Structure 1
Amino acid sequence: MNRYFPLCFLLLVFFSRPAQAQQNTKQIFIQTDKVTLGFTVGKNQKLYQSYLGEKLANSQDNGLLPATRHEAYVPAGTDNLFEPAIRMVHTDGNPSLELRYDKHTTQQQEENVTATAIHLKDPKYPVEVILHFNAFQKENIIKTWTEIRHKEKKPVVLSNFASAMLHFDAPNYWLSQFHGDWAGEMQQQESQLTSGIKIIDSKLGTRAHKYQSPTFLLALDKPAGENHGELIAGTLAWSGNFQFAFELDEQNSLRILAGMNPYASEYRLEPNKPFVTPAFIFTYSRTGKGQASRSFHRWARNYGILDGNKPRLTLLNNWEATFFDFDEKKLVGLFDGAAQLGVDLFLLDDGWFGNKYPRNDAKAGLGDWQENKTKLPSGIGYLVEEAEKKGVKFGIWLEPEMVNPKSELYEKHPDWILKLPNREEHYQRNQLVLDLINPKVQDFMYNLVDDLLTKNPKVAYIKWDSNRSLTNTYSPYLKTEQSKLYIDYVHSLYKVLGRIRQKYPHLPIMLCSGGGGRVDYGALPFFTEFWPSDNTDGLERVKIQWGYSNFFPAIAMSSHVTSWGKQSVKYRTDVAMMGKLGYDIQVSEFNEKDLQFSKQAVANYKRLSDVIWFGDQYRLVSPYDEDRAVLMYVSENKSKAVLFSYNLQTRHRDRFTQIRLEGLDPQKKYMVQETNLYPETKSSFTANGKTYSGDYLMKVGIAVSPTTALTSAVFEIVEKP
């Protein structure tokens, strides 16, 4: 038979035991409404993964699951021949660890969340490893992390510390990973796993996701599509160095290790102090990538991002209109553009600070967070008031983690900066990284934000940037324990963000890192949205935003209309409306029709945004499969939908098939109406203005793609009585 059991019963038949022999075996199940992760305690008291797949309809069948082939969390130093989940050197120098089941607890944290903790102990050493699992019932998401404790007399040394280890048995494995660089983030690449180890990792410290994203899709047997195929989708909630290891052994079994990268990070763990890994978050789907993504989107809105079920602000940013060249008068003039568009907020970007070393370019001033008296003689408060007179709120850009060598901060506190002794400084974007592990630096960063908001309580938005990765990687504060740096830096960042959120729990803050260099569910609980890429070319943004949509919801994805790209303003706007709409453009340079269109587009977006932000997303045609991309959002009650169609670099002879819609109610009637039309144009689509049953739209479909390159369309689909 070519078919195998769901995400693997993980045992070949000759390893299985009769059901009668398993009746007294202890089993532990982590379950959502549709997914089960099962463990079995063997006679040797070791913990084994026995199942990962679709929840069995009859719970009595759980007792039939094969039991003891793949140890759940494999330690190093004993009989393990492959990559371990954990490696520890004890106080006496013994480099081995053995983990046996001790107990487990299950608690209902809330109606929708069940928490399970499985305690494993070494029989010879006072070491405990606790495997934590939170099961989110309705979203079908499992969140797992590891806690390591010991009571030895002196510190032990950890050199491997996986957040999760998962096991699979299938004929074939297909891995989709997401990679890129500045202005080319989240490019999807799929390949078949072969014997040995495939590693996806980062060693960049901060801005760690610049080249590789801490996300993946793993399909079993054959590549999965949007609506077919068996897979898991996984991501690590960590903003620093990460590692995914996919190891295929001689029996074609696959083990996945997910967690912080152990590179240069041996960790001396003191007695009675817990070492807690970041969470690995995953879901399982038997019906393709689309279902996995919708599970992540629902979970993210409820648990993964700040205020994920609340409205967002549309905005106008000044960066591409002015760059560093602005003054008070010019900024106040730009407020008119925000008011004309009808957006909610004006965002002042880089360049507003520094006096001894004015921030007139990227070479100076970073770290000196006082208003530049030449540019802004009346201060931030004046700008806030002037913006409000025009009916818009005011937001501001910060990069708190970084410093220019040409700054007062650098002169006063050289001991606050990450840099190697006896080596010349190495710069990226003419800047260095502050030693965030130092409590004084943490206070400096917190006070920067707190002082700004205390003096200007009407500031309504912050863009938090981080434009470089870690080099010169030496902490003056840590001194002899430099191997803690990569890990403790991220924990320190979260500590500062936690302090800010404790005092300002709902202030909208965008997560930016030179584009999409830090997009993960470790940071996002502190942020309302993220900046996917500095590349806002409408054509290239289609693939970038498509990649992010596998794991992150539209409400969190800031998407701006800018002057990048040679497409029409309509095309760039339609692409931006796929996420959280904003503008970064000189509005005064719009011609009359472009301005008329843009004003109407903002109004349209505000009318449609609830469906885009909170609806279920269905990716209908991938830009990786055709020279077009089509996707739609459907409201929870299936009364409304919004469909986006983008033609890419199509050729004259291209002909596109009709699109079958998804997610609608087959019994309901829907009117299809093209919206976001450019002034003095009419819809050319035959479906425009017509009413269809949901059944027809999903089985027969409609034409939504013309043949012309770089054209786009937005359709509003509304239930008719």
Structure 2
Amino acid sequence: MAFGLIVGSASLVAQPVTIPIETENHVIVLQTDISNGLHTVYFGKPLAYPNEYAAVSGGYNYNDDNAGIYDAAYTPAGTWNLSEPAIQVTHADGNKSLDLKYLRHEVKPIDANSYLTTIVLKDPLYAFQVSLYYKVWKKENVIEQWTEIRHSEKGPVILRKYASANMYFSNKDFYLTTYNSGWAREMQPGETKLLPGLRSVDSKLGTRAMLLQSPNFILSFGKPASENEGTVMLGQLAWCGNFKLDFEVDSYRNLRFIAGINPYESEYTLQPNQSFKTPSLVYALSNSGTGEASRGLHNWARKYRVLDGEGERLTLLNNWEATYFNFDENKLKGLFKGAKELGVDMFLLDDGWFGNKHPRDGDTAGLGDWQENVKKLPSGLGYLVQEARQEGLKFGIWLEPEMVNPKSELYEKHLDWVIRQPQRPEKYFRNQLVLDLANPDVQDFVFGVVDNLFTKNPELAFIKWDCNAVIYNAYSPYLQKRGLPQSHLYVEYVKGLYAVLERIRAKYPKVPMMLCSGGGGRGDYELLKYYTEFWPSDDTEPVERIFQQWDYSYFFPAIVTDNHVTDWGRQPLKFRIDVASMGKLGFDIVTSHLNAMDRSFAQQAIKNYHSFKDIVWHGDQYRLVNPHEADISALLYVSRDKTRAVMFNYLVNTRYKITATDRPVVLNGLDPQKKYRVKEINTYPGIASTIDGNKEYTGDFLMKVGINPDVTLLRTSVVLQIDEVK
């Protein structure tokens, strides 16, 4: 690709301007028409001769009056467009029409692997412009796309809709996979063939974007999504507030895709000479199925986006399911000893440690009063931090600083900090309300909660940041006081959260933080700039977690998913630990309740985990057997040099008296020329493996014939370690 600057105008540009957005294996081609409108003319494999991109549009013949705007690169409303718009405005003079023409573009290299294309569009009649941004990571086949809107009209302009991206695909037949959710049932997939008309996926919850619908999606072209073949897009709107994804099949059976902040109750008043930046649409492209797209997205996330994505993570013991709110110093110190015996890195103190006038003895009181409860913790947090250190453990803590209980000192003193309709009865979600992060004073308070903890306890090693409530009765006292529209609240809340996180990371750049939101209510690539990981679900029943972790794995590398061993379900401890080992391992159990055999197994399994965690966290993932389609599930993680791998196999269906896997599981991602030895690890004490660990196989054999992990009703989880024979 030639890098440089191209400048034009409606009067000067006689020849079409062609702009390819190229990754290593894919290209999106944009092109101007004779009136300087900008269109998407190609989506597919890169051409061998880039000069031929200019000729692509000549092969299409769309004749009806509105078809000429179907493929607009950013579709305006109010002129001759009859389709779903990407942008809808009211100008300072009250006019609601908008037209956008190509003005100029720039292609700027960032490094050897990435570049940024900026395209400026302008209304010919108004001082109003839109800049389209495409940031490309070529090797990973990942594109981040967003928009900036700016004007210099004589008064404010009202943005009624302001999408992040507007894409167009002429590949026939489109299959969309989306994910509905609920508490403890996150990431439930559903695939459908898109038919003519509009299909929307959205959220109006204000804080927890992923509680009911997910901003993650899979778009497959020509046929349903497949792991190892076919053209697919894996995407996500990186925004933890209200989102909307529109998929519209037009009269030519082509697909228009528009993604951005949900315009629901979010009209935004933009003052002259100010700019509005939309959240990013992040997507990975593949011509070889979802597996390749996932690996590209994982590599991009670890290297370029997730905080410390190429670093380490802490194994931990959490007290939540061991004690809930019922604990004191002595009980916690007893859990320290259990954590040390297990061999984990850290103890995490969960909810219930704070509040005095309104003690946090349940979820009805205390939230917002972030001082140690003197009855439970008379010696303070500092004492616990030191006691943990003496046991050789780091110490982490739970917070939910965006929320407040009505039964709290914070609520009593600062009712004006709470999102609530003053004339309406309060409506609670888990007995709590949301603080108004549009208010800079509230931002200072939330930052201060974190800052005070670290000032008093500089050895704190981890924060679990929770967010349980949605926004009911949306109303900001701060916006009202400032004379700003209430329709700004949903946007300003998220911007306020980002502002707090920027301050935290400026002062505490390295401290690991977990995103938790009543389970998987939050997990996106904008927040993961500030967090090291997220909590996928409060449902820790291990069979259910196999399915959830499988579906999250399309979009997130294993290093960012927190998986805890708990007492949920009836599966044996071995099964629970094996499942939780496919990510960042943690425990939510009372170790003193383990019998001698379970304790011995857990200690050895943690040692094994430390031996292969680097492969799980930083290696390439291959989904081998889909639990949605088979009686077992199998996943493989391979080191980048292909010398080591670890394979997880689980029985997920016992309804038909399954006795064994009846055929080999074919592996992927190995070196066909290398020889490997396959050995079972994480065997339970006294149980011999049925896998011959002395046999040698070529990578070619394992990737064509495979190996049978021998999953049975007596061997419901099998972990295989694969090592190159030197």
Q: With structure 1 as the length reference, what TM-score do the two structures score?
A: 0.95
User: Where does 1:306-385 land on structure 2 (aligned, <5 Å)?
Assistant: 306-385=307-386
Is residue 2:629 matched to residue 1:659? Answer: no
The one-letter code of the counterpart of 2:92 is T
The one-letter code of the counterpart of 1:306 is L
Is residue 2:468 matched to residue 1:462? Answer: no
1:174 alignment counterpart: 175
2:52 alignment counterpart: 61
User: Which 4+ residue blocks in structure 1 deviate beyond 4 angstroms?
Assistant: none
How far is the alpha carbon of 1:253 from its aligned partner?
A: 1.2
- CA distance in structure 2 between the partners assigned to 1:125 and 1:395 by the alignment: 54
2:721 alignment counterpart: 716
How far is the alpha carbon of 1:522 from its aligned partner?
A: 1.6
The one-letter code of the counterpart of 2:562 is S
Secondary structure of 1:101's match?
strand
How many residues of Structure 1 are paired with residues of Structure 2 in the alignment?
Answer: 699
Secondary structure of 2:129's match?
strand
2:211 alignment counterpart: 210
User: Where does 1:231-630 land on structure 2 (aligned, <5 Å)?
Assistant: 231-479=232-480, 480-630=484-634
Decide whether the 8 Å contact of 2:690 with 2:710 is kept in 1: no
- CA distance in structure 2 between the partners assigned to 1:110 and 1:147 by the alignment: 23
Decide whether the 8 Å contact of 1:652 with 1:707 is kept in 2: no
How far is the alpha carbon of 1:388 from its aligned partner?
A: 0.5
The one-letter code of the counterpart of 1:546 is W
- CA distance in structure 1 between the partners assigned to 2:15 and 2:123 by the alignment: 23
The one-letter code of the counterpart of 1:598 is A
How far is the alpha carbon of 1:487 from its aligned partner?
A: 0.7
- CA distance in structure 1 between the partners assigned to 2:662 and 2:444 by the alignment: 58
- CA distance in structure 1 between the partners assigned to 2:471 and 2:517 by the alignment: 13
- CA distance in structure 1 between the partners assigned to 2:235 and 2:132 by the alignment: 17
Is residue 2:695 matched to residue 1:690? Answer: yes
- CA distance in structure 2 between the partners assigned to 1:675 and 1:91 by the alignment: 68
User: Where does 1:110-129 land on structure 2 (aligned, <5 Å)?
Assistant: 110-129=111-130
The one-letter code of the counterpart of 2:256 is R
Decide whether the 8 Å contact of 1:54 with 1:284 is kept in 2: no
The one-letter code of the counterpart of 1:389 is Q
Provide closer, same or farther for how the CA distance between residues 33 and 171 of structure 1 changes in structure 2, counting only shifts above 3 A: closer
1:677 alignment counterpart: 683
Decide whether the 8 Å contact of 2:358 with 2:365 is kept in 1: yes
How far is the alpha carbon of 1:233 from its aligned partner?
A: 1.2
Decide whether the 8 Å contact of 2:650 with 2:711 is kept in 1: no
Secondary structure of 1:545's match?
helix
Secondary structure of 1:110's match?
coil
How far is the alpha carbon of 1:423 from its aligned partner?
A: 0.4
- CA distance in structure 2 between the partners assigned to 1:673 and 1:200 by the alignment: 45
- CA distance in structure 2 between the partners assigned to 1:570 and 1:332 by the alignment: 26
- CA distance in structure 1 between the partners assigned to 2:715 and 2:645 by the alignment: 23
- CA distance in structure 2 between the partners assigned to 1:72 and 1:705 by the alignment: 52
1:17 alignment counterpart: none
Secondary structure of 2:219's match?
strand
The one-letter code of the counterpart of 1:27 is T
Decide whether the 8 Å contact of 1:647 with 1:705 is kept in 2: no
1:13 alignment counterpart: none
Q: Which digits, 9 at most, give the CA deviation of each residue in 1:314-371, with x for residues without a partner?
A: 0000001110000011111110011001100000000000011110110110000000
Q: Which digits, 9 at most, give the CA deviation of each residue in 1:470-516, with x for residues without a partner?
A: 11211100115110111110011011011100110110000000110
Q: Which digits, 9 at most, give the CA deviation of each residue in 1:440-470, with x for residues without a partner?
A: 0000000110010011000000000001111
User: Where does 1:631-646 land on structure 2 (aligned, <5 Å)?
Assistant: 631-646=635-650
Percent of paired sites with the same residue? 53
- CA distance in structure 1 between the partners assigned to 2:633 and 2:222 by the alignment: 26
The one-letter code of the counterpart of 1:531 is W
The one-letter code of the counterpart of 2:428 is Y
How far is the alpha carbon of 1:260 from its aligned partner?
A: 0.6
How far is the alpha carbon of 1:705 from its aligned partner?
A: 4.2
The one-letter code of the counterpart of 2:48 is A
Provide closer, same or farther for how the CA distance between residues 23 and 227 of structure 1 changes in structure 2, counting only shifts above 3 A: farther
How far is the alpha carbon of 1:29 from its aligned partner?
A: 1.6
The one-letter code of the counterpart of 1:708 is L
- CA distance in structure 1 between the partners assigned to 2:215 and 2:534 by the alignment: 15
Structure 2: give runs of 5+ residues left out of the alignment: 1-12, 61-67
Secondary structure of 2:526's match?
coil
434-443 or 705-714, which deviates more: 705-714
- CA distance in structure 2 between the partners assigned to 1:42 and 1:576 by the alignment: 54
The one-letter code of the counterpart of 1:657 is R
Decide whether the 8 Å contact of 1:646 with 1:705 is kept in 2: no
How far is the alpha carbon of 1:171 from its aligned partner?
A: 2.8
Q: With structure 2 as the length reference, what TM-score do the two structures score?
A: 0.95
The one-letter code of the counterpart of 1:619 is R
How far is the alpha carbon of 1:165 from its aligned partner?
A: 0.8
Decide whether the 8 Å contact of 1:201 with 1:244 is kept in 2: yes
Out of 28, 32, 37, the position equivalent to 2:19 is: 28
- CA distance in structure 1 between the partners assigned to 2:35 and 2:111 by the alignment: 34
How far is the alpha carbon of 1:112 from its aligned partner?
A: 2.2
- CA distance in structure 2 between the partners assigned to 1:488 and 1:446 by the alignment: 16
Decide whether the 8 Å contact of 1:638 with 1:665 is kept in 2: yes
Decide whether the 8 Å contact of 1:341 with 1:599 is kept in 2: yes
- CA distance in structure 2 between the partners assigned to 1:266 and 1:662 by the alignment: 49
- CA distance in structure 2 between the partners assigned to 1:667 and 1:358 by the alignment: 64
1:5 alignment counterpart: none
How far is the alpha carbon of 1:23 from its aligned partner?
A: 11
The one-letter code of the counterpart of 2:327 is F
1:4 alignment counterpart: none
Provide closer, same or farther for how the CA distance between residues 709 and 490 of structure 1 changes in structure 2, counting only shifts above 3 A: farther
How far is the alpha carbon of 1:214 from its aligned partner?
A: 0.3
Decide whether the 8 Å contact of 2:196 with 2:250 is kept in 1: yes
Secondary structure of 1:381's match?
helix
2:43 alignment counterpart: 52
Q: Which digits, 9 at most, give the CA deviation of each residue in 1:351-394, with x for residues without a partner?
A: 00001111011011000000001111111110010001000100
Q: What is the root-mean-square deviation in Å for CA atoms of aligned residues?
A: 1.3
The one-letter code of the counterpart of 1:525 is K
Secondary structure of 1:477's match?
helix
- CA distance in structure 2 between the partners assigned to 1:126 and 1:197 by the alignment: 32
How far is the alpha carbon of 1:564 from its aligned partner?
A: 0.6
Decide whether the 8 Å contact of 1:531 with 1:559 is kept in 2: yes
- CA distance in structure 2 between the partners assigned to 1:710 and 1:28 by the alignment: 56
How far is the alpha carbon of 1:80 from its aligned partner?
A: 0.7
How far is the alpha carbon of 1:187 from its aligned partner?
A: 1.2
How far is the alpha carbon of 1:59 from its aligned partner?
A: 2.4
How far is the alpha carbon of 1:688 from its aligned partner?
A: 3.5
Q: Which digits, 9 at most, give the CA deviation of each residue in 1:57-77, with x for residues without a partner?
A: 332332332168521111001
Is residue 2:36 matched to residue 1:42? Answer: no
How far is the alpha carbon of 1:285 from its aligned partner?
A: 1.0
- CA distance in structure 1 between the partners assigned to 2:140 and 2:172 by the alignment: 29
How far is the alpha carbon of 1:395 from its aligned partner?
A: 0.2
How far is the alpha carbon of 1:653 from its aligned partner?
A: 4.8
Decide whether the 8 Å contact of 1:627 with 1:648 is kept in 2: yes
- CA distance in structure 1 between the partners assigned to 2:317 and 2:199 by the alignment: 43
Structure 1: give runs of 5+ residues left out of the alignment: 1-21
Is residue 2:669 matched to residue 1:668? Answer: no
- CA distance in structure 1 between the partners assigned to 2:664 and 2:45 by the alignment: 33
Decide whether the 8 Å contact of 2:165 with 2:281 is kept in 1: yes
- CA distance in structure 2 between the partners assigned to 1:304 and 1:168 by the alignment: 27
1:72 alignment counterpart: 73
Provide closer, same or farther for how the CA distance between residues 77 and 656 of structure 1 changes in structure 2, counting only shifts above 3 A: farther
Secondary structure of 1:75's match?
coil
Is residue 2:160 matched to residue 1:159? Answer: yes
